[in-house]
Structure 1
Amino acid sequence: MSFKSMILAVTLAAVAFSGTACAKEAKKEEKQAILITSFGTSMPSARKAIDNLVAAAKKAFPGAEVRLAFTSNIIRRKLTREGKKNVPPTPVMALAQLNDEGFSTVGVMPTHIIPGAEYDEIKNVVEAWGELKGKYGIKDLRLGKTFLSSVEGCDEMAEILVKRFEKLAGKDTAVVLMGHGTPHHIANAMYSQLQVALDKIADGRFFIGTVENTPLIEDVVAALKKAGYKKTLVSPLMIVAGDHANNDMADKDDPESWYSILKKEGFAVETYIKGLGEDKGVTAAFVEHLKEMMK
Structure 2
Amino acid sequence: MGSALFTACDSDDDNKSTQSNYDRYQQAVNQTVNAQKKSDKVILLVAFGSTWEQAYDTFDKVVDDYKAQFGGWDVYLSFSSAICINNARAGENVEPKDYYDPEHWLTAIGLAGYKQVVVQSLQVIPGEEYRRVRDSYVKDFMNNRNGDFTDAYMKSLDRQVVVGTPLMAEESDAKTLATTLNNEADVKAAVAQGIVAFMGHGNPEGYDYYGGNVRYLQLEEYLREINPNFYVGTVDMDETYAEDVLNHIAGGTFDYQIGDVTKTISYPENASKKAQLFVLMSIAGDHAHNDMADDEDDESWFSMFNAAGIETAAYETNYTEACWKKYKSGEEYIPGLAERSAVRKLWMNHTREAIAKLGTDDALSTPTTAAE
- Normalising TM by the smaller chain, what interval? 0.7 to 0.9
Query: Distance in 1 between the 2:74 and 2:110 partners?
Result: 12
Kindly state the Cα deviation for residue 240 of structure 1 after the two structures are TM-superposed: 0.5
Q: Which residue of 2 aligns with 1:290?
A: 351
Q: List 4+ stretches of structure 1 deviating above 3 A.
A: 135-138, 165-168
Task: Tell me the amino acid that sits aligned with residue 156 of structure 1.
Answer: T
Aligned: 1:84 with 2:96? yes
Aligned: 1:207 with 2:231? yes
Report the structure, 1 or 2, having the larger helix content.
Answer: 1
Kindly state the Cα deviation for residue 136 of structure 1 after the two structures are TM-superposed: 6.2
Aligned: 1:134 with 2:145? no
Kindly state the Cα deviation for residue 48 of structure 1 after the two structures are TM-superposed: 2.3
TM alignment of 1:62-73, pairs within 5 A: 62-73=71-82
TM alignment of 1:34-45, pairs within 5 A: 34-45=43-54
TM alignment of 1:202-241, pairs within 5 A: 202=227, 204-213=228-237, 214-225=239-250, 226-241=269-284
Query: Which of residues 33, 46, 58 in structure 2 aligns to 1:49?
Result: 58
Task: Tell me the amino acid that sits aligned with residue 296 of structure 2.
Answer: D
Kindly state the Cα deviation for residue 57 of structure 1 after the two structures are TM-superposed: 1.0
Are 1:53 and 1:286, in contact at CA under 8 Å, matched by a contact in 2? Answer: no
Q: Count how many residue pairs are aligned between Structure 1 and Structure 2.
A: 265
Are 2:191 and 2:229, in contact at CA under 8 Å, matched by a contact in 1? Answer: no
Query: Distance in 1 between the 2:41 and 2:88 partners?
Result: 29
> Residues 183-229 of structure 1, C-alpha deviation per residue, up to 9 Å, x if partnerless?
13321111011111112222x11101100103111111012222222
Are 1:107 and 1:143, in contact at CA under 8 Å, matched by a contact in 2? Answer: yes
Aligned: 1:198 with 2:209? no
Change (3 A) 1:135 1:256: farther
Task: Tell me the amino acid that sits aligned with residue 201 of structure 1.
Answer: I
**1:238 counterpart SS class:** coil
Identity of aligned residues (%): 30
Q: Which residue of 1 aligns with 2:190?
A: 169
Moved more, 30-39 or 104-113: 30-39
**1:194 counterpart SS class:** helix
Task: Tell me the amino acid that sits aligned with residue 109 of structure 2.
Answer: L
Q: Which residue of 1 aligns with 2:40?
A: 31
Query: Distance in 1 between the 2:176 and 2:83 partners?
Result: 32
TM-score computed with the length of structure 1 as normaliser: 0.85
Are 1:35 and 1:66, in contact at CA under 8 Å, matched by a contact in 2? Answer: yes
Kindly state the Cα deviation for residue 172 of structure 1 after the two structures are TM-superposed: 3.4
Task: Tell me the amino acid that sits aligned with residue 112 of structure 1.
Answer: Q
Moved more, 62-71 or 47-56: 47-56
Q: CA RMSD in A?
A: 1.8
Aligned: 1:268 with 2:311? yes
TM alignment of 1:90-101, pairs within 5 A: 90-101=101-112
Query: Distance in 2 between the 1:48 and 1:126 partners?
Result: 26
Are 2:89 and 2:99, in contact at CA under 8 Å, matched by a contact in 1? Answer: no
Aligned: 1:248 with 2:291? yes
Task: Tell me the amino acid that sits aligned with residue 134 of structure 1.
Answer: D
Query: Which of residues 121, 130, 133 in structure 2 aligns to 1:122?
Result: 133
Structure 1 segments unaligned to the other structure (5+ residues): 1-27
Are 1:48 and 1:278, in contact at CA under 8 Å, matched by a contact in 2? Answer: no
TM alignment of 1:181-196, pairs within 5 A: 181-183=202-204, 184-186=206-208, 187-196=212-221
Q: Which residue of 2 aligns with 1:156?
A: 176
TM-score computed with the length of structure 2 as normaliser: 0.68
Query: Distance in 2 between the 1:68 and 1:136 partners?
Result: 23
TM alignment of 1:2-41, pairs within 5 A: 31-41=40-50
Structure 2 segments unaligned to the other structure (5+ residues): 1-36, 145-149, 251-268, 317-333, 357-372
Are 1:49 and 1:276, in contact at CA under 8 Å, matched by a contact in 2? Answer: no
Are 2:199 and 2:235, in contact at CA under 8 Å, matched by a contact in 1? Answer: yes
Are 2:107 and 2:141, in contact at CA under 8 Å, matched by a contact in 1? Answer: no
Q: Which residue of 1 aligns with 2:320?
A: none
Task: Tell me the amino acid that sits aligned with residue 212 of structure 1.
Answer: D
Are 1:38 and 1:71, in contact at CA under 8 Å, matched by a contact in 2? Answer: yes
> Residues 141-171 of structure 1, C-alpha deviation per residue, up to 9 Å, x if partnerless?
1101111111210111001111124444152
**2:217 counterpart SS class:** helix
Query: Distance in 1 between the 2:350 and 2:170 partners?
Result: 13
Q: Which has the larger radius of gyration?
A: 1
> Residues 237-286 of structure 1, C-alpha deviation per residue, up to 9 Å, x if partnerless?
01110000000000000111110011111001012311010002101112
**1:157 counterpart SS class:** helix
Change (3 A) 1:170 1:194: closer
Are 1:34 and 1:67, in contact at CA under 8 Å, matched by a contact in 2? Answer: yes
Task: Tell me the amino acid that sits aligned with residue 99 of structure 1.
Answer: G
Task: Tell me the amino acid that sits aligned with residue 288 of structure 1.
Answer: N
